[in-house]
């Protein structure tokens, strides 16, 4: 009989594809975790990982992972439904995003309107979002790059240009626009691999057969902005950031390419009903007037009634 804890441990090993890191995250001994995986494989009658060299999830493991995620997600949804039905409050909502700077306005408005709701925010790269939604580990995800996965519903929030941020004394500072070719030899301060702005930079230059010259990687938007302003490099900056607290203390220059844009989209599971608190947050985010930075008068229709 498979135990829920064993299945949860399997999902961590499947995500990390590394036993010692999984053991550290789970705070269990690695030999114990190895035995747990071996028992699962024995019960299933098939190996779940390839062990030649680095640990890799095999075809059977990927198939099993998808079923486990859905099963544990349904159990979690059931637990939350019972908690919601037997309590007077709206409960909690869990939101994942690549950045929360974009969302501070609607999040503040939501919290003011529903102060009793517990809001849990999870920084999550886009390639992890579909897995977390399928597992019902989070209720909603906001991504600045497309998520290609089945079983998701979505609502586009806004689309905007991404420009080049340079210091005030940079040779390009007086330009109205720059070409992608002119970016190739610039020293870039950017995010780590996987972040939407790094993927955009890599994709723009890869189309020209080039790779970016990166002098600094950071997960902190404020640090990226300050380093650009200090003259240590240049960086891609979304138009939205020009109005925010982390705006670059320098010059924003348009990039002459139709591909240098981002589309911010809200995602949720299409096949599972959202809790009441999550439905209210979805309405708040989808109905937000992003240009004005205020609640919108008319929220667009949503693809599903849940």
Tens of pLDDT, residues 242-270: 765 555 568 999 999 999 999 999 999 98
Confidence label for 302 from pLDDT (cuts 50, 70 and 90): very low
Query: pLDDT for 276-294, tens place per residue?
Result: 889 999 999 999 999 888 8
Please count the residues of the chain: 306
Q: What confidence score (pLDDT) does residue 247 get? A: 57
Residue 298 is predicted with a pLDDT of 55
Q: Where is pLDDT greater, at 267 or 136?
A: 267
User: Average pLDDT in the 148-156 region?
Assistant: 89
Answer yes or no: is pLDDT of 58 > 70.
Answer: yes
- Please check the confidence at residue 213 and state whether its pLDDT lies above 70: yes
Residue 300's pLDDT is: 45
Average pLDDT, the chain: 87
Question: What value, to the nearest 5°, has the Cα angle with vertex 29 and ends 28 and 35?
Answer: 100
In this predicted structure, what is the pLDDT of residue 301? 45
**How far apart, in whole angstroms, are the C-alpha atoms of residue 172 and residue 159?**
25
pLDDT of residue 303: 45
Q: In the numeric block, which tokens belong to residue 60?
A: 């059977």
Residue 165 has pLDDT above 90, yes or no: yes
User: Model confidence over 221-242: pLDDT tens digits?
Assistant: 778 888 998 999 999 999 887 7
- Residue 131 — very low, low, confident or very high, per pLDDT cuts 50/70/90? confident
Res 43 pLDDT > 60 = yes
Indicate the pTM of the whole model: 0.74
């Amino acid at each position: 009989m498979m135990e829920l804890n064993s299945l949860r441990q399997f999902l961590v090993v499947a995500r990390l594809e590394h036993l010692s890191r999984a053991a550290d995250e789970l705070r269990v001994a690695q030999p114990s975790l190895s035995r747990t995986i071996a028992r699962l494989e024995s019960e299933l009658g098939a190996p779940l990982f390839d062990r030649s060299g680095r640990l890799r999830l095999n075809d059977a493991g990927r198939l099993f992972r998808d079923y486990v995620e859905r099963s544990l997600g349904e159990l979690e949804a059931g637990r939350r439904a019972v908690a919601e039905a037997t309590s007077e409050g709206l409960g909690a909502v869990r939101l994942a995003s690549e950045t929360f700077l974009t969302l501070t306005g609607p999040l503040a408005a939501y919290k003011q309107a529903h102060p009793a709701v517990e809001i849990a925010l999870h920084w999550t790269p886009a390639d992890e979002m579909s897995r977390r939604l399928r597992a019902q580990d989070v209720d909603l995800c906001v991504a600045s790059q497309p998520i290609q996965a089945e079983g998701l519903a979505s609502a586009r929030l806004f689309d905007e240009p991404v420009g080049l941020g340079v210091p005030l004394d940079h040779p390009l500072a007086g330009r109205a626009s720059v070409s992608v070719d002119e970016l190739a030899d610039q020293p870039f301060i950017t995010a780590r691999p996987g972040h939407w702005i790094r993927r955009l930079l890599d994709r723009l230059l890869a189309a020209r057969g080039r790779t970016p010259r990166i002098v600094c990687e950071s997960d902190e938007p404020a640090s990226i902005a300050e380093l650009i302003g200090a003259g240590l490099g240049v960086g891609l900056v979304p138009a939205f950031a020009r109005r925010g607290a982390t705006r670059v203390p320098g010059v924003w220059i348009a990039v002459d390419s139709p591909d240098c844009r981002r589309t911010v989209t809200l995602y949720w599971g299409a096949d599972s009903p959202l809790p009441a608190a999550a439905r209210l947050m979805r309405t708040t985010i989808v109905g937000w007037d992003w240009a004005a930075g205020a609640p919108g008068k008319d929220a667009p229709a949503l693809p599903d009634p849940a």
